[in-house]
């Protein structure tokens, strides 16, 4: 028996947001039924071979709430025998695609954590990001979700958006805080190649705020959320005590998880592997009981160590040095002496008791820190 | 004893200003005499280095043996020895001239005589060569061959009545050139019975056969089995093979007085073959060696360092191999605090420097960091001692310096008269002293300037070209050293002097250079984890300052759906990018930063 996390990818969206480079497809919801059938096939393949127990489940996308909710029901029923008691079961949702009925139904399936994409409070920003919902849609959905019994709601926000001012960002934070969201994620917008926003920026039609404003917004979020009782537990994540996302902690603690669905990633038995991104390809393989895996990476000891370090450093709890040394049988301070000296001298990391942590500046420059351990 | 055989040999080269069509004409001569079939003919066969073909210039000289049946019904051996056309390569030109009796002087029918035409003519006359004029590009609408003929007569003083009017590109009148070579270029007159005397005019390294020397036999004969001796170092070798170039090596039983060819003798050490040396018969040596070549003067120096310190040995081997057939390349080990172990290398000029750098990177797969070019300064110390300094770091402390001198060149610039003003401005900006101006005819002038060499090694060619729409031509020769008010400009990054970025500059230009250098570096240095002050200083005095602001943000916001592999790839890529940087003290410098001094336009 192996306790792991499970990620399920639903790659459908009503319309793709302008900044999004995730594996999602617009207006293909009609394929949802065969897709979910393929998911069930893929899962049963794993369940035949392995004895997995899921301590967390994360249904992400895409937009899981865009497909007929009975399909989520089918999925959850099939997982029932493999769930650990008290498991965290999260689902992402778009406020424009839920109803009170559907939310009640999701809750009845045992889904106990709802992640809602708001991104920004201002209608003009929502429009410029290509979001399909309004602020009112969000407020309505949030209210329904609470009434449906969701006592763990997370809200996704974005900052450093085109035309976003510090005041707008402050307003967004205030509104979400006053709603009493249990968990808040704050992501700095990154232009990804291949997205519409990237093209618009390249053509000079859209400008991004500079790094200084980006960091000012980030600091504002950290300070405000802290003053309202939210703990920062990861670079982009804040939660009331006990509401940290246990599924995402699995990634950051470099533990094992299975990912099913198009383009999903898994880490099991010292390997990382990932599925075909294309829906049709995925359906045709998984639907026929074949492994839809498109790539696999066997992790060397060094690589695994590096992953453990840079993932753990994203967390405010930092890297547990004795745990690391036990797991890999190395002396951390000897092995990474040069990096430690340099990074400590620049004030980017801090050794606190038995943990290595990023400082505030270290969090701003985390990539520069991570590559020192490579 | 002069032989009838030699009467049927012509050893010649082609000299021209760059772009006047020398290589194309060479191709046509080769094609016409059928050495290479049309099918195998790649354009400009003599330029066989990739780099040469890309840049459209000849760098290394090559030779080829042509067989031509003349109108008199007799067969002639025409040995064509190619010469480089660029001003930097004057030395190489003189090497090929020494192996010839005559030169074909190519002049562009639309351009007329240019600065390098004259420079090459003087070299040829110094070598007692007979000149045979050929006017090229007569197919172009703006061609004026009669005018060019007159120019040749007026400016050079050469009878141009026999000049061939050709279009090498169109293959027009090529036969006439071949006839002219037979008719006007003297045949060799060596003594076949005398002791062997052969001039080495080039060499290269073959991994299977060792060093191969290109030679011109002046007297006597050379054949396999003979014991030959290098007159300069006395080393002796048994001749393995001799032959001619067609242009591939083509073994022959013997090379005799008047012949041009190659010799291979299992010579392992590249240093044992000196271009310009004389080969003789060890068993029957000649009394004295040929005059050889004047020692090359390297005019431009720079530091060459491997980007990866582990490549130091490979860099040394590569330089050694390149030096074998490029005697003008000098190098000696030096150490920089910023760059580690490398070589201070001397070049004929800036183009030569760029070509060597490119060859090292391409042919030897090396990744290099080069410092800004410098000239040799003469420093007279207060104790009366004179030292030569090409690396700014080696400049003695100010209080030990009595005075400094810098090299001055005599520059000849030929230009259409409408650009005279622009050129005068440029030369004035570069601390030039006007000497003289002559009108060649109504519309063209020759300007004579004296210019400090350190003012022309950066971007003088480019500046001249852009100011004259490419019409002006330029040549220079070293005049000598003159006293000058020079200062050493240091660059400090984060408060630390970076030795590899120091340079020597005239005091009147120090402020402007310092400012522009600091600005360039600000652009070249990426933001880092902390703020980096860039300072330009003369001694303890800061004359310019810029700041590279600290990086504020370097974060990947989201780990989506557990896709760690993608994140990892991004980080690995970032690390790779960092590896290409040079760690100088606490600062990471991209390689371009070291060359940014070069691009100081004024």
Taking only the tens place, the pLDDT of each residue in B483-525 is 999 999 999 999 999 988 898 999 998 999 899 889 989 988 9
Q: State how far the Cα of B250 lies from the Cα of B231, in Å rounded to an integer.
A: 26
Query: Residue A257: which of B552, B562, B571 has the nearest Cβ?
Result: B562
| Cβ separation B558–A187 shorter than 8 A | yes
Report the gap between the CA of B584 and the closest CA in chain A (Å): 14
Provide the 8-state DSSP code for B171: T
Q: Is the model's pLDDT at B56 over the cut of 50? A: no
The answer to whether the beta carbons of residues A24 and A9 sit under 8 Å apart is no
Q: State how far the Cα of B197 lies from the Cα of B280, in Å rounded to an integer.
A: 5
Q: Is A156 on the interface with B (CB under 8 A)?
A: no
Q: State how far the Cα of B169 lies from the Cα of B181, in Å rounded to an integer.
A: 19
pLDDT, residue A121, reads 97
User: pTM value?
Assistant: 0.67
The answer to whether the beta carbons of residues B192 and B219 sit under 8 Å apart is yes
Q: Is A7 on the interface with B (CB under 8 A)?
A: yes
3-state helix, strand, coil in chain A (%, to 5): 45, 25, 30
pLDDT, residue B61, reads 47
Q: Is B564 on the interface with A (CB under 8 A)?
A: yes
Q: State how far the Cα of A246 lies from the Cα of B113, in Å rounded to an integer.
A: 83
The residue written with tokens 């007979």 in the block is B130
Question: H helices within B468-554, ranges in order?
Answer: 507-524
What φ, ψ does residue B60 adopt, rounded to 5°? -90, 140
Q: Is A247 on the interface with B (CB under 8 A)?
A: no
Which residue in B271, B269, B251 sits closest to B261, CA to CA? Answer: B251
Query: Residue A265: which of B555, B557, B565 has the nearest Cβ?
Result: B565
Q: Which residues pair with B148 in a beta bridge?
A: none
What φ, ψ does residue A55 adopt, rounded to 5°? -90, -20
pLDDT, residue B597, reads 61
Q: What is the dihedral of CA B414, B418, B424, B425, to 10 degrees?
A: -140
Which residue in A212, A304, A311, A294 sits closest to A23, CA to CA? Answer: A294
Write out pLDDT tens, residues A258-288. Answer: 999 999 999 999 999 999 999 999 999 999 9
Query: Residue A365: which of B551, B561, B571 has the nearest Cβ?
Result: B551
Which residue in B476, B448, B447 sits closest to B461, CA to CA? Answer: B476
Which residue in B440, B448, B497 sits closest to B474, CA to CA? Answer: B448
Q: Which residues of chain A are within 8 Å of residue B556 when distances are taken between CB atoms? A: 190, 366-367
Angle at B461 between CA B457 and CA B465, to 5 degrees: 165
Q: Is the model's pLDDT at B1 over the cut of 50? A: no
Mean pLDDT of B571-590: 83
Total CB pairs under 8 A between chain A and B: 94
Query: Pairing state of beta strands B255-256 and B300-306?
Result: unpaired
Query: Residue B571: which of A214, A248, A367 has the nearest Cβ?
Result: A367
Cα radius of gyration rounded to whole Å, chain A: 21
The residue written with tokens 């522009």 in the block is B516
Query: Residue A365: which of B529, B558, B564 has the nearest Cβ?
Result: B529
Count of other CB atoms within 10 angstroms of residue B10: 26
Q: State how far the Cα of B120 lies from the Cα of B101, in Å rounded to an integer.
A: 15
* Angular region, B463: left φ>0, alpha ψ -120 to 50, beta rest: alpha
Q: Is A119 on the interface with B (CB under 8 A)?
A: no
pLDDT, residue B296, reads 62
| Cβ separation B552–A214 shorter than 8 A | yes
| Cβ separation A266–B562 shorter than 8 A | yes
pLDDT, residue B2, reads 53
Q: State how far the Cα of A248 lies from the Cα of A55, in Å rounded to an integer.
A: 12
The answer to whether the beta carbons of residues A214 and A296 sit under 8 Å apart is no
Return the H-helix or E-strand segment holding A104.
helix A100-108
Residue window 482-541, chain B: list those with CB within 8 Å of chain A. 529-530
Q: Which residues of chain A are within 8 Å of residue B574 when distances are taken between CB atoms? A: 367, 371
Q: Is B141 on the interface with A (CB under 8 A)?
A: no
The answer to whether the beta carbons of residues A126 and A134 sit under 8 Å apart is yes
Coil, strand or helix: which one is A175?
A: helix
| Cβ separation B571–A370 shorter than 8 A | yes
Q: Is the model's pLDDT at B38 over the cut of 50? A: no
Q: State how far the Cα of B1 lies from the Cα of A88, in Å rounded to an integer.
A: 106
The residue written with tokens 């009878």 in the block is B159
Confidence of residue B293 (pLDDT cuts 50, 70, 90): low
Report the gap between the CA of A267 and the closest CA in chain B (Å): 8
Q: Is B386 on the interface with A (CB under 8 A)?
A: no
Query: Residue B571: which of A252, A310, A363 has the nearest Cβ?
Result: A310
Residue of chain B nearest A299, judged by CA positions: B565
Mean pLDDT of B261-275: 86
What are B443's two structure tokens? 């519309």
Q: Is the model's pLDDT at B47 over the cut of 60? A: no
Report the gap between the CA of A367 and the closest CA in chain B (Å): 6
Q: Is B559 on the interface with A (CB under 8 A)?
A: yes
| Cβ separation B552–A364 shorter than 8 A | yes
Coil, strand or helix: which one is B506?
A: strand
Q: Is B225 on the interface with A (CB under 8 A)?
A: no
Query: Residue B561: which of A264, A367, A370 has the nearest Cβ?
Result: A264
The answer to whether the beta carbons of residues B88 and B351 sit under 8 Å apart is yes
The answer to whether the beta carbons of residues B214 and B233 sit under 8 Å apart is no
Query: Residue B554: which of A189, A274, A366 has the nearest Cβ?
Result: A366
Q: Is the model's pLDDT at B55 over the cut of 70? A: no
Q: State how far the Cα of B43 lies from the Cα of B24, in Å rounded to an integer.
A: 8
| Cβ separation B557–A190 shorter than 8 A | yes
Distance of CA B327 to the CA centre of its chain: 11
The answer to whether the beta carbons of residues A218 and A186 sit under 8 Å apart is yes
Confidence of residue B58 (pLDDT cuts 50, 70, 90): very low
What φ, ψ does residue B210 adopt, rounded to 5°? 80, -155
Angle at B403 between CA B398 and CA B408, to 5 degrees: 120
| Cβ separation B553–A215 shorter than 8 A | yes
Q: Is A257 on the interface with B (CB under 8 A)?
A: yes
Query: Residue A367: which of B554, B561, B562 has the nearest Cβ?
Result: B554
Residue of chain A nearest B554, judged by CA positions: A365
Q: Is the model's pLDDT at B225 over the cut of 80? A: yes
Q: State how far the Cα of B233 lies from the Cα of A8, in Å rounded to an integer.
A: 80
Q: Is the model's pLDDT at B257 over the cut of 80? A: yes
Q: State how far the Cα of B464 lies from the Cα of B469, in Å rounded to an integer.
A: 8
What are B449's two structure tokens? 């300037």
Q: State how far the Cα of A314 lies from the Cα of A357, in Å rounded to an integer.
A: 8
Query: pLDDT digit of tens for each residue in chain A (374 aa)?
Result: 899 999 999 999 999 999 999 999 998 999 999 999 999 999 999 999 999 999 999 999 899 999 999 999 999 999 999 999 999 999 999 999 999 999 999 999 999 999 999 999 999 999 999 999 999 999 999 999 999 999 999 999 999 999 999 999 999 999 999 999 999 999 999 999 899 999 999 999 999 999 999 999 999 999 999 999 999 999 999 999 999 999 999 999 999 999 999 999 999 999 999 999 999 999 999 999 999 999 999 999 999 999 999 999 999 999 999 999 999 999 999 999 999 998 998 899 999 989 999 999 999 999 999 999 98
Average pLDDT, chain B: 85
Q: In b/e form, how buried is each residue of B556-586, taking b as 16+ CB within 10 angstroms?
A: bbbbbbbbbbebbeebeeebeebeebbebeb
Confidence of residue B347 (pLDDT cuts 50, 70, 90): confident
The answer to whether the beta carbons of residues B591 and B582 sit under 8 Å apart is yes
Mean pLDDT of B574-578: 84
Query: Residue B557: which of A236, A257, A297 has the nearest Cβ?
Result: A236
Q: Which residues pair with A362 in a beta bridge?
A: none
What φ, ψ does residue B81 adopt, rounded to 5°? -115, 115
Q: State how far the Cα of A27 lies from the Cα of A13, in Å rounded to an integer.
A: 6
**Percent share of chain B, pLDDT over 90:** 44
Confidence of residue B92 (pLDDT cuts 50, 70, 90): low
CA distances from B508 to B108, B451, B512 (A): 41, 15, 8
Q: Which residues of chain B are within 8 Å of residue A7 when distances are taken between CB atoms? A: 561-562
pLDDT, residue B337, reads 84
Q: Which residues of chain B are within 8 Å of residue A188 when distances are taken between CB atoms? A: 553, 555, 557
Provide the 8-state DSSP code for B431: T
pLDDT, residue A181, reads 97
Residue of chain A nearest B552, judged by CA positions: A211
Q: Is B577 on the interface with A (CB under 8 A)?
A: no
Q: State how far the Cα of B354 lies from the Cα of A119, in Å rounded to an integer.
A: 53
Selected for mutation to probe chain A from B494, B548, B549, B564 (highest A CB count within 10 Å) is B564
Mean pLDDT of B37-64: 52
Which are the contacts of B281, defined by CB distance < 8 A and separation ≥ 6? B195, B196, B220, B222, B226, B227, B228, B229
The answer to whether the beta carbons of residues A118 and A98 sit under 8 Å apart is no
Q: Which residues of chain B are within 8 Å of residue A366 when distances are taken between CB atoms? A: 554-556
What are B285's two structure tokens? 């040596």
Q: Is the model's pLDDT at B227 over the cut of 50? A: yes
Regarding predicted confidence, which is higher, B395 or B599? B395
Count of other CB atoms within 10 angstroms of residue B386: 12
Return the H-helix or E-strand segment holding B32.
helix B22-32
| Cβ separation A211–B552 shorter than 8 A | yes
Which of B10-19, B311-320, B437-446, B585-594 is the most confident on average?
A: B311-320
Write out pLDDT tens, residues A165-205. Answer: 999 999 999 999 999 999 999 999 999 989 999 999 999 99
Which are the contacts of B129, defined by CB distance < 8 A and separation ≥ 6? B97, B100, B101, B102, B103
Provide the 8-state DSSP code for B544: E
Which pairs count as long-range contacts for B307-314, CB under 8 Å and 24+ apart, including other chains?
A: B307/B366, B307/B367, B307/B368, B307/B369, B307/B580, B307/B582, B307/B591, B308/B367, B309/B340, B309/B341, B311/B366, B311/B367, B312/B340, B312/B341, B312/B342, B314/B364, B314/B366
| Cβ separation B554–A363 shorter than 8 A | no
Write out pLDDT tens, residues B534-553. Answer: 999 998 899 999 999 988 88
Query: Half-sphere exposure (CA, 13 Å, Cβ side) for B479?
Result: 20
Q: Is the model's pLDDT at B237 over the cut of 80? A: yes
């Amino acid at each position: 028996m192996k306790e792991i996390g499970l990620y399920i990818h639903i790659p459908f969206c009503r319309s793709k947001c302008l900044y999004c480079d995730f594996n999602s497809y617009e207006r293909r919801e009609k394929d949802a039924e065969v897709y979910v059938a393929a998911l069930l096939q893929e899962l049963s393949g794993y369940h035949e071979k392995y004895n997995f127990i899921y301590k967390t489940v994360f249904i992400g996308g895409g937009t899981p709430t865009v497909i007929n909710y009975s399909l989520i029901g089918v999925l959850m029923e099939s997982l029932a025998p493999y769930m650990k008691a008290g498991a965290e079961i999260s689902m992402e949702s778009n406020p424009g695609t839920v109803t009170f009925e559907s939310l009640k139904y999701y809750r009845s399936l045992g889904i106990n954590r709802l992640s809602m994409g708001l991104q920004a409070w201002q209608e003009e920003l929502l429009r410029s990001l290509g979001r399909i919902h309004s602020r009112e849609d969000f407020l309505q959905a949030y209210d329904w979700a609470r009434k449906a019994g969701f006592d763990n709601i997370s809200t996704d926000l974005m900052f450093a958006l085109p035309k976003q001012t510090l005041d707008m960002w402050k307003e967004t934070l205030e509104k979400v805080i006053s709603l009493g969201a249990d968990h808040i994620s704050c992501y700095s917008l990154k232009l990804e190649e291949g997205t519409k926003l990237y093209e618009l920026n390249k053509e000079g039609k859209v400008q991004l705020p500079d790094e200084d404003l980006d960091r000012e917004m980030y600091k504002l979020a950290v300070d405000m959320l802290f003053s309202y009782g939210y703990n920062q537990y990861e670079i982009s994540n804040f939660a009331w005590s006990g509401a940290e996302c246990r599924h995402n902690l699995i990634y950051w603690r470099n533990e094992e998880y299975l990912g099913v669905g198009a383009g999903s990633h898994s880490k099991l038995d010292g390997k990382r592997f990932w599925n075909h991104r294309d829906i049709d390809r995925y359906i045709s393989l998984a639907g026929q009981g074949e492994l839809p895996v498109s790539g696999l990476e066997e992790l060397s000891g060094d690589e695994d160590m590096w992953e453990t370090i840079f993932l753990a450093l994203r967390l405010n709890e930092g890297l547990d040095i004795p745990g690391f040394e036990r797991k890999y049988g190395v002396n951390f301070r000897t092995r990474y002496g040069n990096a430690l000296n340099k990074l400590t001298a620049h004030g980017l990391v801090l050794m606190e008791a038995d943990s290595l942590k990023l400082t505030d500046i270290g969090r701003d420059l985390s990539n520069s820190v991570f590559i020192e351990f490579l | 004893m002069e032989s009838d055989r030699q009467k049927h040999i012509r050893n010649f080269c082609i000299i021209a200003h760059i772009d006047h069509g020398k290589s194309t004409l060479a191709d046509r001569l080769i094609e016409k005499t059928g050495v290479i079939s049309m099918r195998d003919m790649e354009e400009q066969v003599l330029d066989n280095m990739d780099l040469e073909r890309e840049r459209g210039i000849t760098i290394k000289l090559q030779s080829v043996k042509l067989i031509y049946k003349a109108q008199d019904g007799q067969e002639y051996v025409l040995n064509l020895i190619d010469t480089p056309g660029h001003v930097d390569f004057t030395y190489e030109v003189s090497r090929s001239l020494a192996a010839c009796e005559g030169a074909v002087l190519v002049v562009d029918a639309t351009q007329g005589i240019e600065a390098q035409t004259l420079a090459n003519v003087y070299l040829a006359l110094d070598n007692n060569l007979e000149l045979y004029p050929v006017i090229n590009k007569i197919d172009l609408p703006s061609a004026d061959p009669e005018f060019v003929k007159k120019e040749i007569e007026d400016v050079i003083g050469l009878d141009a009545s026999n000049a061939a009017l050709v279009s090498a590109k169109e293959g027009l009148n090529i036969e006439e050139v071949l006839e002219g070579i037979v008719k006007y270029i003297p045949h060799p007159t060596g003594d076949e019975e005398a002791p062997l005397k052969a001039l080495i005019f080039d060499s290269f390294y073959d991994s299977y056969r060792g060093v191969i020397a290109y030679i011109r036999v002046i007297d006597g004969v050379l054949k396999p089995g003979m014991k030959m001796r290098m007159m300069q170092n006395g080393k002796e070798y048994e001749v393995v093979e001799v032959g001619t170039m067609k242009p591939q090596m083509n073994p022959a039983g013997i090379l005799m007085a008047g012949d041009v060819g190659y010799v291979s003798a299992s010579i392992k050490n590249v240093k044992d073959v000196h271009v310009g040396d004389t080969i003789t018969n060890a068993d029957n040596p000649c009394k004295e060696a040929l005059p050889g070549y004047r020692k090359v003067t390297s005019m431009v120096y720079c530091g060459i360092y491997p980007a990866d310190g582990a490549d130091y040995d490979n860099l040394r081997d590569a330089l050694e191999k390149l030096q074998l057939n490029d005697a003008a390349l000098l190098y000696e080990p030096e150490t920089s605090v910023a760059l580690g172990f490398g070589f201070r290398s001397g070049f004929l000029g800036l183009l030569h420097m760029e070509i060597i750098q490119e060859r090292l990177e391409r042919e030897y797969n090396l990744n290099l960091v080069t410092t800004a070019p410098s000239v040799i300064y003469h420093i007279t110390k207060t104790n009366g001692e004179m030292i030569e300094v090409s690396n700014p770091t080696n400049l003695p402390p100010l209080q030990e310096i009595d005075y400094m001198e810098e090299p001055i060149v005599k520059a000849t610039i030929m230009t259409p008269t409408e650009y005279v003003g622009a050129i005068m401005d440029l030369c004035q900006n570069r601390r030039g002293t006007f000497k003289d101006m002559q009108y060649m005819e109504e519309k063209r002038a020759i300007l004579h300037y004296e210019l400090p060499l350190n003012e022309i090694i950066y971007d003088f060619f480019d500046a001249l070209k852009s100011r004259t729409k490419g019409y002006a031509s330029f040549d220079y020769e070293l005049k000598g050293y003159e006293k000058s008010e020079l200062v050493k400009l240091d660059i400090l990054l984060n408060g630390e002097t970076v030795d590899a970025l120091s340079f020597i500059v005239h005091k009147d230009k120090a402020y402007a250079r310092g400012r522009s250098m600091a600005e360039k570096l600000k652009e070249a240095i990426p933001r880092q984890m902390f703020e980096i002050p860039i300072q330009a200083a003369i001694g303890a005095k800061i004359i310019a300052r810029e700041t590279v602001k600290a990086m504020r943000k370097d974060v990947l916001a989201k780990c989506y759906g557990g896709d760690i592999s993608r994140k990892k790839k991004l980080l690995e890529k970032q690390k790779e990018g960092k590896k290409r940087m040079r760690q100088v003290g606490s600062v990471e410098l991209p390689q371009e930063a070291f060359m940014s001094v070069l691009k100081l336009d004024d």
